[in-house]
Amino acid sequence: MKVEQAKQIASKAIEQLSEALERGHSETLRNYLAAMAKFHRYSLHNLILIVSQRPDATRVAGFHTWKQLGRNVKKGAKGIMILAPVVLRKNKEEATSEEDQSKAAVYFRAVYVFDQTDTEGKPVSELGCAQGDPSGYTEKLKQFIAERGIQLEYSDSCV
């Protein structure tokens, strides 16, 4: 898939979202907002590309990232195409001034990421999932904080 095809997919998905909102269907928006929460490190266009190609995606990463996490992409798995920026800078020899040296051209190329369900291997740790009764750990946490000279304060304000 080429970059132009990716742009067309993203544009079409944005258009469909807009039409759904005009018809009063907020479920589509809810789905995109849920995806934004899951894939907060991705740009809006890449988020839309992920959701439009794989609405059920939970965690996505590139081939090499999954490899570093001890997981292998399953044979025959279909990747999710996104756009990755490529920054090209002029060589110092080619640049005529300091301003030319600092200028860079940004291009995009199509790359593929894979959903966690397309991988196998070492279990992926579940972040943000707490189970059990935390009361036994409160004193340990207070002791840990005190040992490091950190002052523990309680507040009703989140600011």
Evaluate whether residue 46 is within a structural domain: yes
Mean pLDDT, residues 72-84: 94
Please check whether residue 154 lies inside any domain of the structure. Answer: no
Asked if the structure places residue 156 within a domain, the reply is no
- Let me know if residue 96 belongs to a domain: yes
Q: Which residues contact 51 (CB under 8 A, 6 or more apart)?
A: 13, 31, 32, 35, 57
**The pLDDT of residue 35:** 85
What total number of domains does the chain contain? 1
Q: Given pLDDT bands bounded at 50, 70 and 90, which one contains residue 159?
A: very low
Per residue in 131-146, pLDDT tens?
Answer: 677 677 788 888 888 8
- pTM beyond 0.75: the answer is no
CB neighbour list of residue 147: distance below 8 Å, 6 or more residues apart: none
In a domain, 158, yes or no: no
C-alpha–C-alpha distance, residues 79 and 54, integer Å: 9
Question: Per the domain annotation, does 60 fall within a domain?
Answer: yes
Count Cα neighbours of 111 within 13 Å in the Cβ-side half-sphere.
Answer: 14
Residue 153 located in a structural domain: no
Is the residue at 159 inside a domain? Answer: no
Residue 77: predicted pLDDT = 95
Residues 5-16 pLDDT 10s: 878 888 888 888
Structural domain span for residue 123: 3-147
